[in-house]
Amino acid sequence: RNFYFINIMHIICKYSLVEHLKYTTCANLIQLCTLLYQKNDSTFKNRTAAMDLSQKVRVLCWVMTQPQHLKSRTQHIRATWGRRCNIVLYMSSEASDFPTVGLNVSEGRNQLYWKTIRAFQHIHMHHLDDADWFLKADDDTFVVLENLRYGLSKHNTEEPLYFGRRFKPFVAQGYMSGGAGYILSKEALRRFVKGFADGLCSHNTNIEDIGLGKCMETMKVQLGDSRDVLGRQTFHPYPPHYYLPRQLPRPRPWYLLYEHYHPVEGPGCCSDLAISFHYIDAVQMHTLEYYTYHLHPYGYKYRFNPDERSDNRNNN
Amino acid sequence: MSLSVSKLNSNILIAENRRAAPEFSQKVRVLCWVMTQPKHLKSRTQHIRATWGKRCNIVLYMSSEVSDFPTVGLNVSEGRSQLYWKTIRAFQHIHTHHLDDADWFLKADDDTFVVLENLRYGLSKHNAEEPQYFGRRFTPFIAQGYMSGGAGYVLSKEALRRFVKGFADGLCTHNTETEDVGLGKCMETMKVQMGDSRDVLGRQTFHPYPPDYYLPRQTPRPRPWYLIYEHYQPVEGPGCCSDLAISFHYIDAVQMHTLEYYTYHLRPYGYKYRFNPNVKIQVRQEKRWLIQTLGVIHLKRKELLYV
């Protein structure tokens, strides 16, 4: 079957008059088919090894987006990390064939918390049993699902927990940065929805991450520690180049002042098994995809092995 | 803080890794020389020293002045017009002092990021005693083409001997200021062949620009110069760049460190990389197609093995 497909693809590509088609779709499809030729067992072993966690730790991702962003931003999520979620929902004010889920809200920065509330209510109503954990991401967040599943695998989704990049201000127990993405356990989702049903939580702010953080505190949902065994952060509210370079002493920017844990700049800022980066534009979605899932040094054994270091937690 | 404990563990881990990973680093010895200048040591070159420079078997930072950086002082002045003189003097210096210390000789700019493991892997299939050189092949100016300077290029030991001999015998001269074109002309004169550095799927490994110039699919537009110069069919979008990429150019200081992070640190837990260059592909059919990017060669009734 693959061989015939290759023949057809070759004919289409050879005789295609559209240069763009040649250099893009054809290269991809031919490369894909070539990879399919590699009929050695390890290909199937690859799928089994990676699938383990994806069936044990089911993640439903919902992406906060809007009709004007579908083409400029959201399609790049769909093309890269979106497909790695067990379920992915693109939440917008309007339903569409993208496909997006239409929430009963308008667009705009002041509607973000309404969107969040309606999104979680929708998920609670339609998908509560389809997943174990529920991730919220922006349409300019890049997420590495494998690392998220690995991080969550040690936790129990029936406990009221939520994970993300922990910030100090505004809420007594703190809250998780919205842009970096945050993830609710099943119990946390139930409590969030119940909080609104019972009137214990209300729409008391436009700032969705603070609002959700306040409701979590009210409903006694705990903030988890998402750092790796060396104390390095996994969720990031900015792209890597904001944290990785060592900086000369200067007035601390807001995103470091808000940090709950001691902020680290330079190497040590960011885990090898990072989970998310924010403010990622369309081009960088694809380059991050390339860097994470493709570019690697041949024969290199990664130095960081989290499974060997569970006793050496760095308590900052 | 458990800093001392984790340091101890990390030393143990590094020792294990060194036993595990040095397949190629002793078999395929690479001497890297970085074209730099005194003004760039702090803004650019120190970041190479902190990242990929240490992965070369030997790394030499070539400048107009010797210093404690350490840099090698070549007998040249600075400036764009001096680049080919620098290249000539650098290779002569290496030939005089280091010919037996390495098998392959890489030239890189001080804004080039190189993945040494992938370079060694690519070179492992070739013989350093043959006159060949590898890099990103461009077509213009030279009949057989030349390798882009910014993307970096690698000379075999025999190619280095011939380059130096060419100047000693007067067959090669300083006939241009554009160092990559000049070196390419000398290579042609001295009958050094241009190697093909693409991977088994035909994807490029040396890149004269950062990844974001090639990875996104582009809407149709007038082709930029760096695609017009290409010897092989240029590919944009996925398929442009090998998983085992060797170099990227125009990398500033911050991006040196982020590329180091992306290449040697960030990875998905439990993920097995899909691309395996060592896999044998056996295709049995009446018509067989060898696929290299979009070039398709028709082979009739043959077993096709990629090793």
Q: What is the pLDDT of residues B102-161, one digit of tens each?
A: 999 999 999 999 999 999 999 999 999 999 999 999 999 999 999 999 999 999 999 999
pLDDT in tens, A10-41: 666 655 555 555 445 555 565 555 555 544 34
What does the pLDDT read at residue B22?
A: 61
Mutation choice for A interface testing from B265, B275, B285 by most A CBs within 10 A: B265
Enclosing H/E stretch for B287:
strand B287-292
- Which residues does B9 contact at the CB level (< 8 Å), separation at least 6? A308, A309, A312
Q: What is the CA radius of gyration of chain A?
A: 21
What does the pLDDT read at residue A44?
A: 46
Query: Residue B74: what residue type?
Result: L
pLDDT over 90 percentage in chain B: 70
Residues 49-88 of A with CB under 8 A from B: 49-50, 52-53
B2 pLDDT higher than 80: no
**Closest chain B residue by Cα to residue A35:** B275
CA B244 to chain centre: 11
B281 pLDDT higher than 80: no
- B116–A297: do the CB atoms touch at under 8 Å? yes
- Which residues does B59 contact at the CB level (< 8 Å), separation at least 6? B31, B32, B33, B34, B49, B53
Strands A175-176 and A166-167, by their bridges, are antiparallel
Start-to-end Cα distance in chain A = 57
pLDDT in tens, A226-275: 999 999 999 999 999 999 998 888 888 888 899 999 989 898 999 999 99
What is the phi-psi region of residue A9: left when phi exceeds 0, alpha when psi lies from -120 to 50, beta otherwise? Answer: alpha
pLDDT in tens, B148-163: 999 999 999 999 999 9
Strand order in the sheet with B153-156: B71-73, B58-63, B30-35, B104-109, B153-156, B132-134, B193-194
Distance from CA of A119 to the nearest CA of B (A): 28
> Taking each helix axis from N to C terminus, what angle separates B157-168 and B179-189, rounded to the nearest 10 degrees?
90
For A57-70, what is the mean pLDDT? 96
Of A194-208, A299-313, B63-77, B207-221, give the lowest mean pLDDT range: A299-313
B168 pLDDT higher than 70: yes
Structure tokens given for A263:
């902020």
CA distance B233 to B193: 20
pLDDT in tens, A138-192: 999 999 999 999 999 999 999 999 999 999 999 999 999 999 999 999 999 999 9
E-strand stretches of A157-280: 161-163, 166-167, 175-176, 182-185, 222-223, 276-278
- Which residues does B88 contact at the CB level (< 8 Å), separation at least 6? B167, B174
If pLDDT is split at 50, 70 and 90, which confidence band does A47 have? low
Q: What is the pTM of this model?
A: 0.83
Q: Does A126 touch chain B (CB under 8 A)?
A: no
Q: Which of B117, B212, B291 sits opposite A297 (nearest CB)?
A: B117
If pLDDT is split at 50, 70 and 90, which confidence band does A51 have? low
Mutation choice for B interface testing from A298, A304, A312, A316 by most B CBs within 10 A: A298
If pLDDT is split at 50, 70 and 90, which confidence band does B11 have? very low
B183 pLDDT higher than 60: yes
Query: Residue B24: what residue type?
Result: F
A225 pLDDT higher than 50: yes
Q: Does A19 touch chain B (CB under 8 A)?
A: yes
Q: Does B305 touch chain A (CB under 8 A)?
A: no
Contact present, A288 and A277 (Cβ < 8 Å) = yes
- Which residues does A3 contact at the CB level (< 8 Å), separation at least 6? B283, B285
Q: Is A265 helix (H, G, I), strand (E, B) or coil?
A: coil
A214 pLDDT higher than 60: yes
If pLDDT is split at 50, 70 and 90, which confidence band does A129 have? very high
Contact present, B270 and A305 (Cβ < 8 Å) = no
Residues 26-45 of A with CB under 8 A from B: 26-28, 30-31, 34-35, 37-38, 40, 42-43, 45
Q: Which of A27, A40, A272 sits opposite B294 (nearest CB)?
A: A27
What does the pLDDT read at residue A211?
A: 96
For B82-100, what is the mean pLDDT? 96
Q: Which of B5, B117, B241 sits opposite A299 (nearest CB)?
A: B117
What does the pLDDT read at residue A6?
A: 60
What does the pLDDT read at residue B58?
A: 96
B52 pLDDT higher than 80: yes
Q: Which of A31, A272, A305 sits opposite B265 (nearest CB)?
A: A272
CA distance A35 to A97: 30
